[in-house]
Structure 1
């Protein structure tokens, strides 16, 4: 079965609404995450609210897990900012047959469920990955008007050489004009539905010939399906930076005063305790201004994390901790 209905996969909805204004004129933002990103998602929402105090928001979090502690913190976040947060618990069994990797779980496909769920409910939706921090106004996105037949507003990834590479690999010549990162999608819900994007994407992900071509899962698929039907907007709305770049010499940091969303790509996230760099400041400020203010940053739990933590500790001149993390890393590798 190629189609996924939100009625099939949404098990329950938890609503925390402390708004004093009507929901009718809300700007809607959605996240699709697994349980490992709930901490980051809560702080991401806090960062948006912190920097956009005059905008009437509704947040929608689609996730596979939601504990009593999570319920308490998300409710407190909505109350603190007098906002509305709805959390949708998803049955993921029908998504587990789709391709996944160590870095991308089946939760990456939640955006298909999300886009379909909002058809006939709203016209415009901002989809964001949860590993972001907001540091500026998004009023331009609230006021954004789609062109005719435009399915989404997006931000390009990398450069012309990369676009050409993807165009060749994905046999889609239009991608030479631009390939986008799917961690930011301002979606025209009606056009998305009219073009049947979600079902086409699911169908493609079940065709072995396509699965062999794609390396970035749903991002590749969306670039193929939306080629020529998106508008590329200012990179300040999806400024990507990997905290692991801090381990390299001479890497330019693209985050500047104009940046609205910092997108923390890569395996090291700002909620990891080894991510102690200025680039994490926007996340940490939002964390301090949220119900997660008293939650400790996460320590390494697996061999990959211990390895990165060790490298960062050495980079931060914390040599004893670096050595201890390397010892944990080798111990876990031997056990494997």
Structure 2
């Protein structure tokens, strides 16, 4: 029995369909993003990077967002046209989400992944959900070809190592997590099984339970880990290689990104679309940007005190001392307002 928490009629206000795919006869591989307006830039480049690295695969991209400007409309339409693909943008009504837990780092947009999974129930067998701060630099044919076994709800990638898994197992009172805790920024979802087990319904109910909320620190990621223990397939870390650009500030940062990496996940507050993030690890993103309708869109400048503080640190690291001084002065001006 299929169970969904979200019905399209309740949460989707309108749909924009930029369809320039033409008739290929191939069943497209569906990639979906759930974002707020701060990640639209990154989302467009993420889509571009996938298309660049996988020219022989047929795709259909779905973007679920609560904001979409005329400029966004023009650029996403141009992107679909440039690569002869289809991009469907669904505008979300967020009222049903605003009562759920949120933090400075995780807004209610994090729950869009549940809307995505429920939206595709009965419409697709599998969907690849990605965070918009992910750039692709390799083939995802392996994911397109992956066949789930009967009880697998999703293919996932571990986050951290065994010590972290054990901590999560204890704090979330879920012993099975000792075998692996996953990052929810990459989810290859087995849609029929997700719906059959009512994952969205169970997750939202848990997120409304004070006893559960008192345990979790990573919101829906923690809840999904608790729900999906023993029901996931762990795939290679090359499909979700996490790296924070702020690690560049450390004296001996270990960068796990290499030629085998397929998806680079730029975790942390500094993103590759920020003007102070000019490091080799940003190359996959910046290269895709040059091959996209965002090539003429400036990288983003700091917009708040926290970003000015990080920008200043990075400018000093990059020996851009004047920019660093200006960054710190602007940071202090923001702080005293």
What's the TM-score, normalizing by structure 1?
0.98
The C-alpha deviation readout for 1:168-200, integer Å capped at 9, x for no partner, is 111111100100000000000000001100011
Shift of 1:5: 2.2
Residues 51-70 of structure 1: pairs in structure 2 closer than 5 A: 51-70=53-72
Residues 220-239 of structure 1: pairs in structure 2 closer than 5 A: 220-239=222-241
Residues 298-317 of structure 1: pairs in structure 2 closer than 5 A: 298-317=300-319
Shift of 1:4: 3.0
Q: Contact 1:21/1:56 (CA < 8 Å) preserved in 2? A: no
Does structure 1 residue 214 correspond to structure 2 residue 216? yes
- Helix, strand or coil for the counterpart of 2:15? strand
Shift of 1:251: 1.6
Write the distance in 2 (CA, Å) between the matches of 1:297 and 1:237: 26
Shift of 1:209: 1.0
**Unmatched segments (≥5 aa) in structure 1:** none
Map of 1:116 onto structure 2: 118
- Helix, strand or coil for the counterpart of 1:95? coil
Map of 2:52 onto structure 1: 50
The C-alpha deviation readout for 1:259-317, integer Å capped at 9, x for no partner, is 00000000000000000100000000000000000000000010000000000000000
The C-alpha deviation readout for 1:64-99, integer Å capped at 9, x for no partner, is 000110000000000000000000000011101111
Map of 1:41 onto structure 2: 43
- Helix, strand or coil for the counterpart of 1:45? helix
Map of 1:103 onto structure 2: 105
After TM superposition, the structure 1 stretch with the greater mean CA deviation from structure 2, 85-94 or 21-30, is 21-30
The C-alpha deviation readout for 1:226-249, integer Å capped at 9, x for no partner, is 010001010000000000000001
Residues 161-176 of structure 1: pairs in structure 2 closer than 5 A: 161-176=163-178
- Helix, strand or coil for the counterpart of 1:60? strand
Shift of 1:250: 1.1
Q: Contact 1:242/1:265 (CA < 8 Å) preserved in 2? A: yes
Shift of 1:132: 0.7
Shift of 1:24: 6.2
Write the distance in 2 (CA, Å) between the matches of 1:251 and 1:224: 31
After TM superposition, the structure 1 stretch with the greater mean CA deviation from structure 2, 261-270 or 143-152, is 143-152
Q: Contact 2:6/2:115 (CA < 8 Å) preserved in 1? A: yes
Q: Contact 1:23/1:58 (CA < 8 Å) preserved in 2? A: no
Question: What is the aligned length?
Answer: 334
Residue number among 86, 91, 97 corresponding to 1:89 in the alignment: 91
